[in-house]
Homo-oligomer: A and B are copies of this chain.
């Protein structure tokens, strides 16, 4: 809610045999995916090969006015994207989907993830004379596919060839004039699911977006798989699939995804309840009430309560009217801004021993302020439980856990953190419990941000390359 880890993106695509309002479908789907990225969003509609695009900095609700949405017209295929980032004028050009024109026609591309070899690929492309309009690795993917398209017989073949060189995390949805394609990196860092609505096919980062357009869940795109939708229906290319242990981001379950989504067979809500149960088993405490920090701590709190037998309570009310343009309090009041967004329900807290569950602790500052709210409301004891283990290592696969300097767990012991936050006890979910969050049969998760065990070689990757930035010139005489 406040100082949280952020996902980079959510992607969506729809293919229909008929000409219809696919823009409207994309619009509803982006609402369902908005939690995955609130910086910018966009939709591209493909009408017989002619692509109309609208994208901008802002929430779906703000970017897509009635005029903007209707300007996209009808079509057969559409691709949509929501993107995380801090707001700013300069970020408009990094908004997605990326639309480009190349020798075989137009292409629109939406990407969730992060390439670990983006810098090297970009450098090589630039040395061949390529120009880059954006600073995102999505453009690197577009170039790579386009270059491969020159020597291959189809767009899907070009995607397959590109997967030989692309490294890291990528769940992409792209459309050529006549096809919609979904593909996932061989380790499956980011989710991507397939839905069907009548004869229409849909791709979405999460199943909640399938629900929002009335599509039934078919299956997930497999790690390494390329799924092609065209007038012949659905076709799968599996040459990059393997039996290797997979690396689905475990934090998707803990925080990123929406509770009603089902990823790789596990309902996110259930995963969070399990996290709460596991916390209750490992970090038991005698208390009067278990509360969650809204919204993502609520499910785990319920699990903790059910496991421990301590009553579940509604401890906080979150103000749902605070928007992006909320005017910040004066400097002196800034410390109290938590108070404006979050209020305590006094009767639940006063005089009680409270177990407070949050999904994770990043810098710890917000936790400290929330704890103060509880103390002011008369909590007798406060026991904090985090349904994620401590963040200790940077992530190179599409989230902004980038700097160890900002991670409180890198600099302090659990006891010190408890003191800093002001709680009577603090307990984190154990790394060894992470596999228990997902259903048996899960092909494997990535927990590198907790363990440092990266599923791919990241020795040459600088944390800086993970996010877009203004690129400082380095030319000699220019």
Residues of A near any B CB (own CB < 8 A) = 21, 24, 27-28, 31-32, 34-35, 48-54, 59-62, 64-69, 71-72, 88-90, 93, 98-107, 123, 126-133, 135, 142-143, 146-147, 149-150, 153-155, 176-179, 208, 211-212, 214, 258-260, 262, 267, 269-270, 295, 298-299, 302, 306, 311-314, 317, 319-323, 325-327, 329-330, 336, 339-340, 343-348, 470-478
How far does the alpha carbon of A325 sit from the alpha carbon of B105 in the complex, in Å? 35
Contacts of A345 in B (CB 8 A): 259-260, 267, 269
Q: How far is the CB of A186 from chain B (nearest CB, A)?
A: 24
**Other A-B pairs beyond A24-B329, A129-B143, 20, CB < 8 Å:** A31-B322, A35-B321, A48-B472, A50-B472, A52-B89, A52-B470, A53-B93, A66-B327, A67-B89, A104-B475, A105-B471, A106-B473, A107-B131, A130-B130, A177-B478, A267-B346, A295-B320, A298-B314, A302-B312, A302-B313
Across the interface, do B473 and A177 meet the contact criterion of CB distance under 8 Å?
A: yes
Q: How far is the CB of A47 from chain B (nearest CB, A)?
A: 9
Contacts of A478 in B (CB 8 A): 104-105, 154-155, 176-179
Give the 6 A-B residue pairs with the shortest CB-CB distance, closest first: A49-B473, A105-B473, A177-B473, A104-B475, A267-B347, A103-B126
Across the interface, do A61 and B105 meet the contact criterion of CB distance under 8 Å?
A: no
Across the interface, do A319 and B31 meet the contact criterion of CB distance under 8 Å?
A: yes
How far does the alpha carbon of A348 sit from the alpha carbon of B89 in the complex, in Å? 43
Chain B residue nearest in CB terms to A347: B267
Chain B residue nearest in CB terms to A176: B478
Q: Kindly name the residue among A470, A475, A478 whose own CB sees the greatest number of chain B CB atoms within 10 A.
A: A478
Contacts of A147 in B (CB 8 A): 129
Across the interface, do A339 and B211 meet the contact criterion of CB distance under 8 Å?
A: yes
Q: How far is the CB of A158 from chain B (nearest CB, A)?
A: 9
How far does the alpha carbon of A328 sit from the alpha carbon of B103 in the complex, in Å? 39
How far does the alpha carbon of A52 sit from the alpha carbon of B88 in the complex, in Å? 11
How far does the alpha carbon of A155 sit from the alpha carbon of B477 in the complex, in Å? 8
Q: How far is the CB of A151 from chain B (nearest CB, A)?
A: 9
**Which residue of the partner chain, among B65, B211, B299, contacts A343 with CB atoms under 8 Å?**
B211
Chain B residue nearest in CB terms to A270: B347
Contacts of A262 in B (CB 8 A): 346-347
Copies of the polypeptide in the assembly: 4
Across the interface, do A68 and B89 meet the contact criterion of CB distance under 8 Å?
A: yes
**Which residue of the partner chain, among B102, B212, B319, contacts A32 with CB atoms under 8 Å?**
B319
Across the interface, do A339 and B105 meet the contact criterion of CB distance under 8 Å?
A: no
Q: How far is the CB of A232 from chain B (nearest CB, A)?
A: 11
Across the interface, do A471 and B89 meet the contact criterion of CB distance under 8 Å?
A: no
Q: How far is the CB of A461 from chain B (nearest CB, A)?
A: 20
Given A89-B68, A473-B177, CB of A131 within 8 Å of CB of B155: no
Contacts of A71 in B (CB 8 A): 88-90
Q: How far is the CB of A357 from chain B (nearest CB, A)?
A: 14
Contacts of A311 in B (CB 8 A): 306
Contacts of A321 in B (CB 8 A): 31, 34-35, 59-61
Across the interface, do B472 and A49 meet the contact criterion of CB distance under 8 Å?
A: yes
Contacts of A477 in B (CB 8 A): 153-154, 178
Contacts of A320 in B (CB 8 A): 295, 320
Q: How far is the CB of A457 from chain B (nearest CB, A)?
A: 26
Across the interface, do B34 and A106 meet the contact criterion of CB distance under 8 Å?
A: no
Q: How far is the CB of A190 from chain B (nearest CB, A)?
A: 20
Contacts of A104 in B (CB 8 A): 473-476, 478
Across the interface, do A212 and B340 meet the contact criterion of CB distance under 8 Å?
A: yes
How far does the alpha carbon of A102 sit from the alpha carbon of B99 in the complex, in Å? 19
Contacts of A322 in B (CB 8 A): 31, 61
**Which residue of the partner chain, among B54, B65, B208, B471, contacts A317 with CB atoms under 8 Å?**
B208
How far does the alpha carbon of A68 sit from the alpha carbon of B57 in the complex, in Å? 13
Contacts of A135 in B (CB 8 A): 101
Chain B residue nearest in CB terms to A142: B131
Q: Kindly name the residue among A51, A260, A472 whose own CB sees the greatest number of chain B CB atoms within 10 A.
A: A260
Across the interface, do A101 and B346 meet the contact criterion of CB distance under 8 Å?
A: no
Chain B residue nearest in CB terms to A299: B314
Contacts of A259 in B (CB 8 A): 314, 317, 345
Q: How far is the CB of A352 from chain B (nearest CB, A)?
A: 13
Contacts of A106 in B (CB 8 A): 471, 473
Chain B residue nearest in CB terms to A376: B211
> What are 18 A-B pairs at a CB distance below 8 A?
A21-B330, A48-B472, A54-B90, A61-B322, A71-B90, A100-B131, A101-B133, A101-B471, A104-B473, A105-B478, A106-B473, A208-B343, A211-B344, A212-B319, A212-B340, A260-B344, A260-B345, A269-B314
